[in-house]
Homo-oligomer: A and B are copies of this chain.
Amino acid sequence: MGELTAALRKHSRKVTGPRQAILEVLRRHQHPLANREIHRALGPENCDLATVYRNLHTLEGMGLVRRYDFGDGTARFELVPEGEEGHHHHLICQQCALIVEVEECFPEELEQALARRHGFTGITHRLEFFGLCPRCAAARPTPAD
């Protein structure tokens, strides 16, 4: 809680109700949430959707929140754990949208080699896995097309 206040002060940002509420929602969920979902979890009367968008953008800029892209045209956000770097990936079921947190990561040495070879600096990556979860696979055992 003090962490948030400190981070906000550092950027001359204010500790507002919506801000705290949004972070509280993210704290309660350990999976990426869409703006709309956060807004719903807040109670639609609690704050405007545009405010959710603006705050997530701000919080992302301050490094308190990280943006994920599952390729469906909707941004999702997760709280960055205090102190930790928090870099990780996801495995998403293409049928039911189940999300599994994934610690496996692209080999550091490969990434560095790649950067060196092409003279790139500040290299990062975006990596997500997709497939069919056990439940969905059972419900649809190889469609007879």
Contact = CB atoms under 8 A, between A and B. Distances in A.
A72 B91 CA distance: 21
A62 to B, nearest CB: 15
Contacts of A115: 131
A97 interface: no
Given A125-B128, A129-B125, A91 B118 contact: yes
Kindly report how many copies of this chain are found in the complex they form together.
2
A107 B119 CA distance: 23
A85 B104 CA distance: 24
A105 to B, nearest CB: 9
Interface string A102-130: 10101100110111001111111111111
Interface residues of A, number: 34
Contacts of A2: none
A28 B106 CA distance: 31
A104 B114 CA distance: 8
Nearest to A135: B119
A83 interface: no
A132 interface: yes
12 contacts: A94-B122, A100-B120, A106-B127, A118-B133, A118-B134, A120-B133, A120-B134, A124-B131, A126-B126, A126-B127, A126-B128, A127-B127
Closest 9 CB pairs of A and B: A119-B134, A123-B131, A120-B131, A69-B71, A127-B127, A125-B129, A121-B132, A122-B132, A122-B131
